[in-house]
Amino acid sequence: MEKHIITALVEDKPGVLNRIASLFRRRGFNIQSLAVGSSEQPGLSRMTIVVGGNSRVVEQVRKQLAKLIEVIKVSDLSGESFVSREFVLIKVKTNRETRGEIIQLAEIFRANIVDVAPDSLIAEVTGDEEKVESLIGLLRRFGIKEIARTGCLAMTRGERSGNGKHLL
Amino acid sequence: MKKTGAQILCEGLIERGVEVIFGFPGGVLLPLYDTLPQYPELRHILVRHEQGAAHAADGYARATGRAGVCLATSGPGACNLVTGIANAYMDSSPVVAITGQVARPFIGKDAFQETDITGITLPITKHNYLVLETEELAQIIEEAFHIALEGRPGPVLIDIPRDVFTEEVEAEKLGITNHRYKPKTGGHTVQVEKAAKTIDSARRPIIISGRGIIISHAAQELTELSSKAQIPVTTTLLGIGSFPGSSPMNLGMLGMHGAKHANLAVNNADVIIAVGMRFDDRATARFDSFASEAKIIHIDIDPAEIGKNIACTIPIVGDARVVLREIARLIQPQTHDGWLSQIREWQEEHPLPDVEGGEELLPQYVIRKIWEVTGGDTIIVTGVGQHQMWAAQHFTCDRPGSFISAGGLGTMGFELPAAMGAKVGRPEETVWCIAGDGGFQMTIQELATIAQENIGVKVAVIDNRFLGMVRQWQEFFYDERYVATPLSGPDLMKIAEAYGISSQRVGRREEVVPAIRRAMEHPGPFIIDFIVRSEENVYPMVQPGGSLTDFVEPPSKILSLLK
């Protein structure tokens, strides 16, 4: 299934997240990740949503989102030049023998070790999906106890900003 | 000066031109109801069930083009509005629903008669509000009406806690800021030009006209477009009245029970101009075989409707009136005599079934006679089912807004309260409620409202002692196993008498016209119980799951074909 990254500038009001989640459920759209936080404008939040589906489905997602009164702007980043990042915490099983190797791997991926316990450690890593997935893949053989991911955040490169009017 | 939330609400409603509220009181609404007498310009009509209030507001809105207002208490009252709100949502009707909520400190505590009505109505409202600050109430009311009416209309719900009604705030502080919601009305110039060129080069064009034409008052522009380029028009169910029914260029309704020649014309067209309609599956039949040869120009104010069900060649987002006027100006005058005579040929091959019938009274005959006696000068309100389809087929509507029907949601029981709302909104008009004997009983309690308020609705019950449309499907597709569709009683004459409403039962053809006349001459409401042939079917009919031109044939037709 194709993946599309959609960003939405929304009013920071109670129930907005509920509205958006309800819309995805009701229309049968498939959310792969959703990240939300305050934006550069007071009173507005920015959401980054990764949606699965062909371009016709994603077009519907975009239009249905734009219909919500509290949604100010929706952009589909597909076809644009953009930066995408995800922040991940990974708790890996360790022992005296494996700890060194795990730390080395973490260094290669510019991951930080943020907690060390006798039988596990926590690595934090930031990057695009490919980088995050390959680190997780490499760590899997040591035994991963827990993963927490923020979901993808994305932003177009250069001049264009996601603050303007509705696309439609 | 200080004002209570209840006063702010009443004044906000008056400010927005509201004259009528269809409502039902309850615990948390007591402070509001106690305030209402201070505002005699707000007429409150006490319904007998909140569903009736929502449908009445919907009927009022569709008949007047203004927002209809309904009011219900928290919990069960609010929940009872849900069907009516969903109906208004599906048919783009500007209803403002006001619900009481438990006092703010009790929200989330499962208090007596608490329900999360904003959560429940999230997917069936255009927008909704839970008022948490009394200072915001005035702004919210203003916004709610703006959102309900602007762009593609739809229902908006405002949930107001009991203690907001009683809280006093400084009225001077209640500044109203500008609206952020501003739908785009003018079509994209390049797209409009492309559409005009496509229409110029069309050889077999057709217009599909929907309710959007009625909402945007674009009937005149539609007629101009049709006559300038000689383009026939078919309407959706809710588009009935958007183009004169008596015009030879009107092919009637398309879709599952549409005119055969209309369906054939759509599926053989090379250019379709679809305006203010949303390609509902009952109008298109199978999406993948819909008008496969046609270039489709889709004009709608709601961008999300474009490309949702049917991919189109030229999308135009805008107000139907603005866009049609522009297209009509740009196109070249032309004729399509060959195409029109082809359509006439189809029409002659497939006329609508005869309405006269034999011994038994036919429902279609009743509809035809209501049309003849009223001269079409009436508002028709229907529910859903066979009676609705017969009304759509046999009542010739010439005026926008004169045909009101539960389209998208297909709600049994819409007809009576919606007719009540329409009559309240347009007291100078004759309003005929065409009901089935099944749906009539779903909201029959509103007869009490009609009687108490003396709302002069004329009711024609098409009484076939069956849930007719379901029975028809059982006949066709379930070997005539009539499970849970036969109806017995009640005696509608006694019901009418109990409510204090005049009535007549009619079972013979020669009684039909005198009864309709009697109802029309009678001041106030009147019910006619038309005892019609019980197993009459709606034809034409498209095979469910089939394409627009796969017709189910009546048994008599199949027999004659075999001979």
C-alpha to C-alpha distance for B407 and B281, rounded to whole angstroms: 12
Alpha carbon distance A157, B103 (integer Å): 48
Say if the Cβ atoms of A60 and B130 lie within 8 Å. no
Is there a contact between A26 and B123 if contact means CB atoms under 8 Å apart? yes
Residue B242 predicted with pLDDT over 80: yes
Q: Identify the domain containing residue B227 by its residue range.
A: 189-349
What is the model's pLDDT at position B352? Answer: 85
Tell me which of B46-55, B115-124, B173-182, B475-484 is least confident. Answer: B173-182
How far is residue B366's CA from residue B460's CA, in Å, rounded to a whole number? 9
Cross-chain CB nearest to B307 (options A18, A56, A72): A56
Contact assessment for residue B522 and residue B454, using Cβ atoms and an 8 Å cutoff: no
Name every chain B residue with its beta carbon within 8 A of the beta carbon of A63: 303-304, 306
Answer yes or no: do B123 and A23 touch at CB < 8 A.
yes
Position A121 in a domain:
yes
Do residues B527 and B407 share a domain?
Answer: yes
Q: Which one of A22, A64, A69 has the shortest CB-CB distance to B181?
A: A69
- Mean pLDDT over B317-325 rounds to 97
Tokens of residue B445, six digits: 């309690």
pLDDT at B81: 98
Are B303 and B377 within one domain? no
Q: Residues of B with CB below 8 A from A67's CB?
A: 302-304
- Residue B243 resides in a domain: yes
Give the range of the structural domain holding residue A91, as residue numbers without chain letter: 83-153
Report whether the peptide linkage leading into residue B303 is cis, meaning its omega lies within 30 degrees of zero. Answer: no
Distance from CA of B122 to the nearest CA of A (A): 7
Q: How far apart are CA B72 and CA B49, in angstroms?
A: 9
- Measure in Å the smallest separation between the Cα of B351 and chain A Cα atoms: 40
Residue B539 sits at the vertex; the CA angle it makes with B536 and B540, to the nearest 5 degrees, is 175
At A151 the pLDDT is: 93
pLDDT above 80 for B173: no
- Residue B366 main-chain phi, psi, to 5 deg: -60, -45
Q: Which of A11, A41, A67 to mutate to test the interface with B (most CBs of B within 10 A)?
A: A67
Of A29, A56, A79, the residue at which a domain comes to its end is A79
Is A7 in the same domain as A75? yes
Q: What is the mean predicted confidence (pLDDT) over B393-411?
A: 97
Given an 8 Å threshold on Cβ–Cβ distance, is B181 in contact with A26?
Answer: no
Same domain, A137 and A72: no
Helices (H), B453-554: 468-477, 492-499, 509-521
Upper half-sphere CA count for residue B519 (Cβ side, 13 Å)? 31
- Its sign, for the CA torsion B18, B23, B29, B34, is positive
Indicate which CATH number applies to the domain containing B327.
3.40.50.1220
Q: Has residue A159 been placed in a domain?
A: no
Burial class (CB in 10 A: 0-12, 13-18, 19+), B228: middle
Confidence (pLDDT) at B495: 98
Does a structural domain hold residue A135?
yes
- Name the CA radius of gyration of chain B, rounded: 24
Question: Residue B127 and residue A168: Cβ atoms within 8 Å?
Answer: no
Instruction: Enter the DSSP assignment of B325.
Output: H
Judge if B195 and B68 occupy the same domain: no
Note whether residue A61 is domain-resident: yes
Same domain, A18 and A71: yes
Q: What is the rounded average pLDDT for all residues in chain B?
A: 96
Distances (CA, A) of B40 to B18, B374, B378: 12, 35, 30
Kindly identify which residue of chain B lies nearest to residue A16, measuring between CA atoms. Answer: B122
Name the residue of chain A whose CA is nearest to B181's CA. Answer: A69
Report the alpha-carbon distance of residue B321 to residue B234 in Å, rounded.
18
CATH number, domain with residue B12: 3.40.50.970
Nearest residue, CB atoms, A19 vs list B122, B147, B184: B122
Q: Which residues pair with A122 in a beta bridge?
A: A91, A115
* Nearest CA distance, A158 vs chain B (angstrom): 28
Which residues of chain B have a CB within 8 Å of the CB of A22? Answer: 122-123
Inter-chain contacts counted by CB atoms under 8 A, chains A and B:
36
| Contact list, A18 vs chain B (CB under 8 Å) | 119, 122
- Inter-chain residue contact A168 with B130, CB threshold 8 Å: no
Residue type, B162: R
**Residue A164: what pLDDT?**
45
Predicted confidence (pLDDT) per residue in B180-211, tens digit: 788 888 999 999 999 999 999 999 999 999 99
* Cα distance between residue A149 and residue B476, in whole Å: 55
What are B277-298's pLDDT values in tens digits? 999 999 999 999 999 999 999 9
A8 and A73 belong to one structural domain: yes
Nearest to B206 by CA among B258, B263, B247: B263
Q: Are residues B157 and B201 in the same domain?
A: no
To test the contact with chain A by mutation, choose from B107, B121, B122, B185 the residue with the greatest count of A C-beta atoms within 10 A, namely B122
Query: pLDDT per residue over B6-65, tens digit each?
Result: 999 999 999 999 999 999 999 999 999 999 999 999 999 999 999 999 999 999 999 999
Per-residue pLDDT, A21: 92
Residues A69 and A90 placed together within one structural domain of the fold: no
> Would you say B202 and B270 are in contact if contact means Cβ atoms under 8 Å apart?
yes
Q: Please compute the mean of the pLDDT values over residues B382-409 and round it to a whole number.
A: 97
Measured between beta carbons, the chain A residues lying within 8 angstroms of B307 are 56, 59-60
Minimum Cα–Cα distance from A63: chain B residue: B304
Q: Are residues B345 and B367 in the same domain?
A: no
Based on the fold, state whether residues A56 and A87 are members of the same structural domain.
Answer: no
**For chain A, how many structural domains are there in total?**
2
Same domain, B328 and B416: no
The whole-angstrom distance between A62's CA and the closest CA on chain B is 8
Claim to verify: residue B169 and residue B21 sit in the same structural domain = yes
Percent of chain B residues past pLDDT 70, beyond the cut: 98
Q: Choose the mutation target among A17, A69, A72 for the interface with B, i.e. most B CBs under 10 Å.
A: A69
Give exposure, B148-175, as e/b (b: 16+ Cβ within 10 Å).
bbbbbbbbbbbbbbbbbbbbebeeeebe
Do residue B304 and residue A63 have CB atoms under 8 angstroms apart?
yes
Residue B89: CB partners within 8 Å, gap ≥ 6?
A: B124, B125, B126, B154, B155, B409
Q: What pLDDT, on a 0 to 100 scale, did the predictor assign at position A158?
A: 87
pLDDT of B484 reads 98
| B432/B134 Cα distance (integer angstroms) | 42
Dist CA B420 CA B378 (whole Å) = 14
Tell me whether residue B181 is in a domain: no
Q: B480 lies in a domain?
A: yes
Same domain membership, residue A24 and residue A87: no
Nearest to A60 among B302, B308, B317 (CB): B308
Q: Is the pLDDT of residue B171 over 80?
A: no
Residues B85, B402: Cα–Cα separation, whole Å: 21
- Of B262, B515, B485, which Cα lies nearest the Cα of B393? B262
| Residue B468 one-letter amino acid | G
Query: Of A79, A97, A123, which one is at a domain's C-terminal end?
Result: A79
pLDDT recorded at residue B182: 87
Instruction: Give one word for B238, left, alpha or beta, with left for phi > 0 and alpha for psi -120 to 50.
Output: alpha
* CATH code of residue A22: 3.30.70.260
Total tally of structural domains belonging to chain B: 3
Domain end among B139, B173, B207: B173
pLDDT band at B553 (very low <50, low <70, confident <90, very high): confident
- Residue B126 included in any domain: yes
CB B122 to CB A60 under 8 A?
A: no
Arithmetic mean of pLDDT, B110-137: 97
The model's pLDDT over A42-69, given as tens digits with 9 standing for 90+, comes to 999 999 999 998 888 899 999 999 999 9
Paired residues of A5 in beta bridges = A50
* Domain match, B527 and B472 both: yes
| Residue A160: predicted pLDDT | 62
Please state, in angstroms and rounded to a whole number, the distance separating the CA atoms of residues A69 and A79: 26
* Side-chain half-sphere exposure of A32, counting CA atoms within 13 A: 15
| One domain for residues B79 and B146 | yes
Task: Choose the closest CB to A168 out of B127, B181, B317.
Answer: B317
Assigned domain for B544 exists: no
Average pLDDT over residues B83-96: 98
Asked if the bond preceding B490 is cis, omega within 30° of 0, the reply is yes
Query: Do B379 and B432 form a contact (C-beta atoms < 8 A)?
Result: yes
Give mean pLDDT, residues B320-332. Answer: 97
B222 touches B233 (CB < 8 A) = yes
Ranges under pLDDT 70 in chain A: 160-168
Rounded CA gap, B500 and B497, in Å? Answer: 5
- Give the pLDDT of residue B174: 62
> What is the rounded distance in angstroms from the CA atom of residue B399 to the CA atom of residue B429?
12
- Based on the fold, state whether residues B41 and B163 are members of the same structural domain: yes
Residues A136 and A102 in one domain: yes
Shared domain check, B222 and B113: no
Mark whether B154 and B197 lie in a shared domain.
no
Amino acid at B363: P
Residues counted in chain B: 563
Domain boundary among the residues A61, A79, A97 is at A79
